[in-house]
């Protein structure tokens, strides 16, 4: 009964007016020089306090510029960003995921390349783990500086369920397959999976392709060659997915389990599922929803190695970190000053105290001293530090016009609505 | 109906002006005093042009462009339309939309009519029960969708708890393609039947009691009374309610977004959802505009056809001959 047609049409029209009004939307307003305000657009959650504290410290040292952190609610952050960037009301700098999440802005030449900034400030380049900084590049040009902790995908498990079954966490692929049978016999779902939010299914594909074919396979796709999907590793990974489904690795109702509503995490904490492949934020999710379980029985391990796989067994996938990008308005002195905040001791300590695992090279001592959960944080830090490559989540690495339909294809692969061969054809056809 | 009144020049008034006369409009020879000027319509016309007509024109233009929300739209001619014609997801979406529209109409109409006719009566406890039936009408679509999503949760929802007790483990309707579609059909019915019940209740209350009394004297039972008096008398209500249902289900969106997100796969991706997905998730505003154009065309066509073939446009009274 709601007039969606009129609403959507109105939104299109407003966007159109806005873009034509600013003559091509080169994002030339809201500059930091004129009005003395440095507008920082930030993803709103409990961790944004770190950036707000940084803004306060920045303001104490700068009399002529005032940094203002605008927090935008997480749900719809990307849509809001696209709207403000398209309407010429762009912020001076903004939070993003790197890769495909900023590619459209790079194409429109709205962002400031930061290569020169890194050269002028060598301490900035040296402050971060190289593979993490690398993830802030688009087309081999630096456009993002890390601003948050790292978020690798890892294998979480319920220690109590493992103990009851007399099982050990998997180290090899065969271990993992054996565990599927073990837990099926126990009447426990081997892996929790939130198939109603298919980006969680994507994590399996990411690890399988990375372990089978190596980092280069998806890099080729990420760099715009959609024929990269026809690499044998992708087909093999797709076949492995359906093999896991047939073995009952995810139970039989994963297609309607939602991660965002906490369904998948609850399966793990209540012992209905033994394992859960998820980003490192699963730890804080469990801490919030099932505190006792998180402190007593939540185990974690790396994704096992594949037999005969070409990929490095220590490679990780997930979100290397989040980045600050600067919009190009001719005067970037204040923005660069603000970027220097992101590796100060105060900033890093703030992150650690909020449970994050920073991506700077002084993190390990910080974690030991200040982390609320040093064991988990150290495990995570070493996992990322020792990883030869860190593949950014596929849906963030690709432009949205390709990423969203790709995630749907992965969902259809898991639901067996397509064969592995059809999956490869379908994703290769996305442009 | 009054006798045909001659015009000043003595010719009988045309059918068209008779219809206008019946609607209280320009009656020939009526004094001009008290007749509102056409200028009164201007503000409404302005707003309608600005917020409905203009955006629609712009959407038609956008459908001929490639645009990601940044910079200026790039004119690409009929590329989006060609893609639309060859897109299997669009074909499926159109089928699903038609299926949902027809399914909603076919299931909601009988239930709403029976409930409405019943609610128009004078039975005991009728008022209380009617009030309960109308509850879904008071909730917002989003709340309804979230409630049903929680109820149907395969691991923690009440259905999952009750299922094994009565011997049906794994009562997981949202996983299967047809199951998810039926859920959308059911939830939309649950949500909108009360509205249409209200329409039928009003319609049924307008039927003169004397008709039923006469039928009773002639020996007609309840079934025959319903079939031969209530149903024909509700003719206009059926049309009103059906137009609302058809156009409503064509633009159905919120429940799909919240309960299934268009999935599993594309199993519940109906045309309005496809439009949302293309525009606001994939940032392909040109393509989304083409989808929107199709939707506007289909909805307009459906309304026109309904009005044309049900005789709704001529506004024939159900009281003719009484």
Bridge partners, A94 (sequence order): A41, A325
Are residues B263 and A411, on separate chains, in Cβ contact within 8 Å?
Answer: yes
Bridge partners, A155 (sequence order): A277, A301
The one-character DSSP state at A403 is H
Q: Give the minimum alpha-carbon distance from B149 to chain A in angstroms, rounded to a whole number.
A: 9
Tell me the CA distances in angstroms from A100 to A75, A254, A306, A402, B11, one per residue in order.
18, 28, 28, 10, 74
Are residues A108 and B71, on separate chains, in Cβ contact within 8 Å?
Answer: yes
Tell me how crowded residue A406 is: count the other CB atoms within 10 A of its CB: 21
Whole-angstrom Cα distance, residue A80 to residue A90? 10
Whole-angstrom Cα distance, residue A196 to residue B72? 35
Tell me how crowded residue A273 is: count the other CB atoms within 10 A of its CB: 27
Using a CB-CB cut-off of 8 Å, the residues of chain A touching B192 are 1
The 3-state DSSP class for residue A375 equals: helix
Of B72, B283, B296, the CB nearest to A401: B283
Q: Give the minimum alpha-carbon distance from B275 to chain A in angstroms, rounded to a whole number.
A: 9
Using a CB-CB cut-off of 8 Å, the residues of chain B touching A105 are 70
Of A4, A267, A412, the CB nearest to B251: A4
Using a CB-CB cut-off of 8 Å, the residues of chain A touching B175 are 252-256, 415
Flag whether pLDDT at A15 surpasses 70. no
Q: What is the pLDDT of residue B54?
A: 95
Using a CB-CB cut-off of 8 Å, the residues of chain A touching B276 are 8
Q: Are strands A316-319 and A390-392 parallel, antiparallel or unpaired?
A: parallel
Are residues A415 and B253, on separate chains, in Cβ contact within 8 Å?
Answer: no
Q: What is the pLDDT of residue B93?
A: 94
Whole-angstrom Cα distance, residue B226 to residue A253? 46
Q: Give the minimum alpha-carbon distance from A19 to chain B in angstroms, rounded to a whole number.
A: 6
Flag whether pLDDT at A8 surpasses 50. no
Q: What is the mean pLDDT of each run of 10 residues along chain B (322 residues)?
A: 42 45 48 75 94 94 91 90 92 93 94 92 84 90 92 84 72 86 94 94 91 90 89 89 88 90 90 92 92 90 81 61 58
pLDDT digits (tens, 9 = 90+) for A297-324: 999 999 999 988 999 999 999 999 999 9
pLDDT digits (tens, 9 = 90+) for A171-203: 999 999 999 999 999 999 999 999 999 999 999
B295 vs A: CB within 8 A: yes
Are residues A256 and B153, on separate chains, in Cβ contact within 8 Å?
Answer: yes
Tell me the CA distances in angstroms from A344 to A37, A114, A325, A380, one per residue in order.
22, 19, 18, 21
Using a CB-CB cut-off of 8 Å, the residues of chain B touching A6 are 51-52, 55
Using a CB-CB cut-off of 8 Å, the residues of chain A touching B55 are 6, 9-10, 12-13
Of A12, A20, A415, the CB nearest to B265: A415
Interhelix angle for B88-119 vs B235-250, to 10°?
Answer: 150
Mean pLDDT of all residues belonging to chain A = 88
Residue A216 confidence class, pLDDT cut points 50, 70, 90: very high
B71 vs A: CB within 8 A: yes
Record the pTM: 0.82
Whether the CB-CB separation of B295 and A22 falls below 8 Å is answered with: no
Q: Give the minimum alpha-carbon distance from A312 to chain B in angstroms, rounded to a whole number.
A: 32
Are residues B263 and A196, on separate chains, in Cβ contact within 8 Å?
Answer: yes
Using a CB-CB cut-off of 8 Å, the residues of chain A touching B262 are 408
Whether the CB-CB separation of B251 and A5 falls below 8 Å is answered with: yes
Q: A245, A255, A400, A405: which to substitute to probe chain B, counting the most B Cβ within 10 Å?
A: A255
Of B263, B267, B295, the CB nearest to A5: B295
Phi and psi dihedrals of B177, rounded to 5? -65, -50
Are residues B265 and A412, on separate chains, in Cβ contact within 8 Å?
Answer: yes
Q: What is the pLDDT of residue A176?
A: 96
Residue in A closest to B70 by C-alpha: A86
Angle value at C-alpha B104, between B98 and B109, nearest 5 degrees: 135
Flag whether pLDDT at A7 surpasses 80. no
Whether the CB-CB separation of A238 and A420 falls below 8 Å is answered with: yes
Are residues A24 and B170, on separate chains, in Cβ contact within 8 Å?
Answer: no
Bridge partners, A324 (sequence order): A95, A145
Of A16, A105, A405, the CB nearest to B282: A405
In this structure, chain B runs to a length of 322
pLDDT digits (tens, 9 = 90+) for A313-370: 999 999 999 999 999 887 888 999 999 999 999 999 999 988 889 988 778 888 988 8
Whether the CB-CB separation of B104 and B188 falls below 8 Å is answered with: yes
Are residues A12 and B55, on separate chains, in Cβ contact within 8 Å?
Answer: yes
Q: B68, B71, B291, B297: which to substitute to probe chain A, counting the most A Cβ within 10 Å?
A: B71
Domains (range + CATH), chain A: 33-150+321-388 (3.40.190.10), 151-317+399-428 (3.40.190.10)
Domains (range + CATH), chain B: 74-313 (1.10.3720.10)
Does ipTM surpass 0.90 in this model?
A: no
Using a CB-CB cut-off of 8 Å, the residues of chain A touching B173 are 256
Chain A with chain B: Cβ pairs closer than 8 A: 153
Q: What is the pLDDT of residue B153?
A: 87
pLDDT digits (tens, 9 = 90+) for A393-427: 999 899 888 999 999 999 999 999 999 999 999 99
Residue in A closest to B48 by C-alpha: A6
Bridge partners, A390 (sequence order): A316
B54 vs A: CB within 8 A: yes
Whole-angstrom Cα distance, residue A339 to residue A337? 5
Q: Give the minimum alpha-carbon distance from B18 to chain A in angstroms, rounded to a whole number.
A: 34
Q: Mean pLDDT throughout A287-303? A: 92
B101 vs A: CB within 8 A: no
Residue in A closest to B247 by C-alpha: A1
Residue in B closest to A105 by C-alpha: B70
Q: Are strands A141-142 and A137-138 parallel, antiparallel or unpaired?
A: antiparallel
Total H helices, total E strands in chain A: 23, 13
């Amino acid at each position: 009964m709601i007039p969606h047609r009129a609403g959507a049409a109105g939104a299109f029209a407003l966007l159109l007016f806005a873009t034509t009004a600013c003559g091509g939307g080169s994002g030339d307003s809201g500059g930091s020089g004129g009005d003395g305000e440095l507008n920082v657009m930030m993803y709103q959650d409990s961790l944004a306090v770190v950036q707000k504290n940084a803004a306060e410290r920045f303001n104490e040292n700068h009399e002529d510029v005032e940094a203002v952190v605008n927090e935008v609610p997480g749900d719809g952050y990307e849509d809001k960003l696209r709207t403000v960037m398209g309407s010429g009301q762009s912020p001076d700098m903004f939070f993003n995921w790197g890769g495909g999440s900023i590619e459209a802005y790079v194409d429109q030449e709205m962002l400031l390349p930061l290569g020169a900034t890194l050269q002028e400030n060598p301490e900035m380049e040296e402050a971060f783990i190289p593979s993490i900084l690398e993830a802030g590049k688009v087309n081999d040009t630096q456009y993002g500086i890390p601003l948050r902790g790292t978020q690798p995908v890892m294998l979480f498990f319920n220690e109590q369920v493992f103990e009851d079954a007399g099982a050990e966490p998997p180290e090899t692929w065969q271990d993992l397959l054996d565990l599927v049978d073990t837990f099926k016999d126990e009447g426990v779902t081997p892996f929790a999976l939130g198939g109603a939010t298919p980006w969680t299914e994507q994590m399996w594909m990411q690890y399988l392709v990375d372990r089978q074919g190596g980092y280069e396979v998806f890099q080729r796709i990420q760099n715009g060659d959609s024929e990269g999907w026809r690499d044998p590793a992708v087909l093999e990974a797709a076949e492995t997915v359906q093999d896991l489904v047939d073995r009952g690795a995810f139970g039989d109702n994963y297609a309607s389990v939602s991660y965002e509503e906490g369904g998948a995490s609850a399966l793990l904490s209540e012992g209905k599922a033994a394992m859960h492949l998820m980003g490192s934020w699963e730890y804080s999710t469990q801490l919030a929803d099932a505190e006792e379980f998180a402190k007593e029985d939540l185990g974690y391990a790396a994704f096992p190695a594949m037999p005969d796989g070409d990929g490095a067994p220590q490679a990780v996938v997930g979100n290397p970190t989040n980045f600050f990008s600067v919009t190009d308005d001719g005067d970037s002195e204040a923005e660069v000053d603000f970027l220097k905040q992101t590796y100060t001791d105060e900033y890093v300590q703030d992150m650690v105290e909020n449970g994050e695992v920073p991506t700077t090279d002084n993190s390990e001592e910080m974690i030991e001293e200040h982390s609320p959960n040093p064991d988990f944080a150290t495990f995570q830090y070493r996992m990322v530090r020792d990883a030869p490559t860190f593949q950014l989540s596929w849906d963030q690495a690709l432009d949205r016009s390709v990423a969203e339909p790709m995630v749907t294809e992965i969902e259809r692969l898991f639901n067996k609505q397509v064969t592995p061969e059809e999956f490869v054809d379908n994703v290769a056809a996305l442009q | 109906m009054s006798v045909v009144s001659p015009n000043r020049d003595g010719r009988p008034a045309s059918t068209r002006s008779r219809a206008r006369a019946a609607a209280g409009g320009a009656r020939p020879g009526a004094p001009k005093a008290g007749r509102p000027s056409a200028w009164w319509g201007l503000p409404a016309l302005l707003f309608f042009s600005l917020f409905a007509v203009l955006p629609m024109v712009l959407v038609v233009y956008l459908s001929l462009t490639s645009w990601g929300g940044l910079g200026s739209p790039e004119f690409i001619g009929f590329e989006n339309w060609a893609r639309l014609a060859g897109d299997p997801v669009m074909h499926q979406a159109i089928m699903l939309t038609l299926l949902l529209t027809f399914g909603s109409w076919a299931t909601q109409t009988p239930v709403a009519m029976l409930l409405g006719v019943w609610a128009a009566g004078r039975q005991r406890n009728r008022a209380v029960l009617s009030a309960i039936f109308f509850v879904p009408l008071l909730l917002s679509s989003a709340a309804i969708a979230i409630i049903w999503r929680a109820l149907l949760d395969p691991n923690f929802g009440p259905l999952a708890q009750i299922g094994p007790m009565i011997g049906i483990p794994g009562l997981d309707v949202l996983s299967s393609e047809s199951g998810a579609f039926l859920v959308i059909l059911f939830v939309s019915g649950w949500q909108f039947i009360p509205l249409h019940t209200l329409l039928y209740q009003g319609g049924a209350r307008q039927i003169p009691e004397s008709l039923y009394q006469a039928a009773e004297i002639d020996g007609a039972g309840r079934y025959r009374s319903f079939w031969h008096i209530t149903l024909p008398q509700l003719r206009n209500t059926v049309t009103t309610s059906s137009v609302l249902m058809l156009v409503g289900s064509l633009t159905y969106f919120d429940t799909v977004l919240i309960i299934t997100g268009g999935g599993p796969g594309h199993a519940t991706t109906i045309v309005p959802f496809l439009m949302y997905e293309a525009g606001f998730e994939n940032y392909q505003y040109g393509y989304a505009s083409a989808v929107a154009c199709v939707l506007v065309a289909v909805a307009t066509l459906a309304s026109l056809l309904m009005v044309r073939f049900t005789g709704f446009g001529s506004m024939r009274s159900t009281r003719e001959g009484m």
